[in-house]
Structure 1
Amino acid sequence: MITMLYRLLKSCNVGNKCRLSTLLWSLAAWILFLHIYNTLFPSGTLLPEPRNPWSKGMDIYADLEVYQRVHKSDRTADVGTKHPPRKKGRFPITIPFKNKGGDRIEEAREQAALQKLAVLFPGRKYAIDPSKTSSGNVGYFYPGRQWRDTDGKTIQAHGGGILYVEGTQTFYWYGENKDGPTYHAGKHGLARVDVLGISCYSSKDLWAWKFEGMALRGERVDKSSDLYFRNVVERPKVIYNARTKNYIMWMHIDNGNYSKAAVGVAISTQPEGPFEYMGSKRPHGCDSRDMTIFKDDNGDAYIIYSSLTNSELHIGMLTEDYTDIVERGMKKALVSQHREAPAVFKHRNIYYMVTSGCTGWNPNGALVHVAESMLGPWATLGDPCIGGEDEEFRSHTFFSQGSFVLPLPGLTDSFLFMADRWRPANLADSRYVWLVLTMGASAVPIDDAEFSFKFPQCKQVQIPWAEKWKLPEDWKGALKRSSSRVIQLTWYSSWVS
């Protein structure tokens, strides 16, 4: 528009005078044109927006839902069959404006949405399926693909974590079972699924998972129960108490509009459950939403949760039996930074925490934070995600949100980063993005120079992207040996730099 106004004014020079009425009518015509354009093409995807990859989420799901509206049977459609995952090139994040035809623009958006859907959520033919996979693919992780258990059923363990039981050398994976229809609670409510319960899976190798059943079931009758199906039960984590010989599960408890903002606890004598629900509370008298727990080497356990409407994190100790919260001594971290989804791990006596921004179901940039004590102070190292050809993909945590960081027994300086690639139009089809997290060279916090001298052993945290990867062939043997060995990963990805 500026260019056209310039041309109009240029024509109104000394040698070619134009009337004031002509200028006014021309300006009115352009205002009318802009109004019609914005009415026909309201979507922000037609024109690229400025990016702030650390704080602003990428709203790609609006494009995906265009496709979903046209193809309402998408839940059962194998949309990835004709569009296998892209090997090279950039994601079609924005759609160029090529014509003024509403139908053609809508068709272009549908095609672009289909491409994104196929890349981010590959179809069923690409699923990781231990019950059918050929020997050539055994043990390979494919982040973002459907993942099935040993019975060939889709794994439902979202927002969860893993407990390793050393005595039996078994991993137990707990997570939200979202195998139900997705709907919106109210006109402006977030996408949700009724509370079905917390699933439990077991594995010896982190790849082939056996469904052990519902460790904690939702409630269909008692409306006063925290586990009532219209409420919210999210981000379950389980730790073992050696003193009481009990397994303790903590989780985020809320009502349908997220105003309860509490944490709940359940207990079991067996890792697979069933867990007995004990109740909920607001920790330290504060609102609590995304949360996790962390068990230290000395047996002390901590709860970490987003509070003050997700503007800061709170960290406090659990009681000796892990079933309650020590009300005194709570510390605040990352104040006014609006971080959620904390995932804590420890490396060489230094504590690290991976967090995400607060953008609902939309992906955003991960950050790593570091401290010498679980109670802080905490400093920020930066975005751990590296590799790949697409900056938007990388700077949005590979289109996922972190959930847990698992130390890999028998392997030094290596952890498993667990994340969820949420699909708000169909939460049951949300995917898992598992990648290896490695500790690199020494690093210095970026947010405050005064922290520099406090972390002489602080290491750089890296999460490299890989479309296909596996653990070392003799990794399970390393679990049985007392000495650790350095991880040797096999990478298969055109996205790794």
Structure 2
Amino acid sequence: MHKGKGLALAGAFIIAAFTAFGQAEIRPGEVWPDTKGEHIQAHGGGITKIKDTYYWYGEERRKGLDTNKRYVSCYASKNLADWTFKGDVIQMSDPENLGRKWILERPKVFYNHKTQKYVMYFHLDNAAYKYARVGIAISDRADGEFKFVKSFRPLDHESRDIGQFVDDDGSAYLIFEDRPFGFRIARLADDYLSLEKEICLIPQHMEGGAIVHYKGLYYAIGSALTGWRANPNKYATARSLAGPWSEFKDIAPPETNTYGAQSTLMLKITGSKTTSVIFLGDIWKPKAQWDSRYLWMPLEIGDGKLWLPKPAAFTINVKTGETQIK
């Protein structure tokens, strides 16, 4: 082998080994290239971990898409920083005659260990946002084609923005915005194809709902109802998902409008040394949606307090759970 080529391959191997253990850098608010150099298109998304692989699903917003269809992308990563595009797992035409500019937003995927199916929930709506339902699609593979099954109003309530939460005991929950009442938390049925029971209504007019269970407390985050415009996201805590919930407080200086982002998920990383919680948010660009960015940051969390630091480059080690802000 040519010496120069061998050194290049060795260097590439070292880089690959380094990033495989979660040390690659995440830069909030910047263009986030996948392993092919293309900006990641997974907006309003969710993360599902299967064994040692994280799957990131989101709204595919790149240029040149068929405007009659809606697309959900899938990316895979071992370290949460380097993402490989696995394809658009949904390329859907209008499933229920909703008309032009119909809506498919905020896809979230749950893995059902009993049925061994991947179950995707998403906000399904018409252009006027009056349909207000969840849609369900299923697949046999994390990165396989998801086939539309049905839509419904969860427990007969309106539903727009949705969030996902899986508790430490494996119980799966849907978070959904029911205007004008607030956002609801409901447990999924055994097959995940319906909702079994409402757990709580948090009577706060919010969307972008996200929940994490950390050291005996539940933390809920939400965003005010300001459409595409960023606003001060807030949080509350409770010892039980059923409440009672505390008053809502700011997660960041209110004048920053959550640094231009809107919550979509809180991701808990339980490692060998510590447990970290990462805030996942979207920095929307409504007039250039393909260029919308992401704000991921380790949260300062514990003892009933939650705070989103000023965005800065950071690393996370998914093995140990440790994060380091640069």
Give the TM bin, normalised by the shorter chain.
Answer: 0.7 to 0.9
Confirm whether residue 208 of structure 1 aligns to residue 93 of structure 2.
no
Give the CA deviation at 1:303.
1.5
Give the conservation status (yes or no) of the 8 Å contact 2:221–2:234: yes
Give distance in 1, aligned partners of 2:100 and 2:36. Answer: 26
Aligned residues: 308
Distance in 2 of aligned mates of 1:136 and 1:329: 44
Structure having the higher strand fraction is 2
1:397 equivalent in structure 2: 258
1:162 is matched with: 47
Q: Which residue in 1 is equivalent to 2:200?
A: 331
Q: What is the 5 A alignment of 1:61-460?
A: 139-166=24-51, 169-180=52-63, 195-219=69-93, 224=96, 230-309=101-180, 311-326=181-196, 328-329=197-198, 331-333=200-202, 335=203, 337-385=204-252, 392-393=255-256, 396-410=257-271, 412-440=274-302, 442=303, 459-460=304-305
Separation in 1 of the partners of 2:27 and 2:323? 18
Tell me, what secondary structure is at the counterpart of 1:428?
helix
Whether the 8 Å CA contact 1:408–1:415 is kept in 2: the answer is: yes
Amino acid of the structure 2 residue aligned with 1:213 = G
Distance in 1 (alpha carbons) for counterparts of 2:311 and 2:195: 39
RMSD: 2.7
* Larger RCO (CA under 8 A, 6+ residues apart): 2
* Deviation, structure 1 residue 249: 1.1
Q: In structure 2, do the counterparts of structure 1 residues 488 and 424 end up closer, same or farther at CA, with 3 Å as the change threshold?
A: closer
Per residue, is there more helix in 1 or in 2? 1
Q: Distance in 1 between matches of 2:68 and 2:26?
A: 29
CA contact (8 A) 1:175 1:200 kept: yes
> Which secondary structure state, in structure 1, belongs to the residue aligned with residue 260 of structure 2?
coil
- The 8 Å contact of residues 216 and 275 in structure 1, kept in 2 or not, is answered as yes
TM-score when scaled to structure 1? 0.58
Q: Which amino acid aligns with 1:434?
A: W
> Gapped runs of 5+ residues in structure 1?
1-129, 183-192, 443-458, 479-484, 493-497
Q: Give the corresponding residue for 1:28.
A: none
Letter in 1 for 2:56: W
Displacement over 4 Å in runs of 4+: 135-138
The separation in 1 between residues aligned to 2:213 and 2:287, in whole angstroms, is: 36
2-side partners of 1:329 and 1:343: how far apart?
16
In structure 2, the gaps of 5 or more residues are 1-11
| Deviation at residue 213 of structure 1 after TM alignment | 0.5
In structure 2, relative to structure 1, the CA distance for the partners of 1:234 and 1:194 (3 Å cut) is: farther
- Structure 2 counterpart of 1:464, from 290, 309, 318: 309
What residue identity is the alignment partner of 1:468?
A: A
The secondary structure found in structure 1 opposite 2:155 is: helix
The aligned amino acid for 1:364 is: N
**Residue 181 (structure 1) shift:** 7.2
Q: Residues 195 and 230 of structure 1 are in contact (CA less than 8 Å); yes or no, is this contact kept in structure 2?
A: no
SS across alignment from 2:286: coil
Residues 229 and 346 (structure 1 numbering): CA distance in 2 closer, same or farther, change over 3 Å?
farther
Cα 1:349–1:150 shift into 2, 3 Å: same
Amino acid in the other structure paired with 2:314 = W
Instruction: Return the letter of the residue paired with 2:185.
Output: I
Q: Report the alpha carbon displacement of residue 156 of structure 1 after superposing the two structures with TM.
A: 0.5
Alpha-carbon offset, residue 476 of structure 1? 4.7
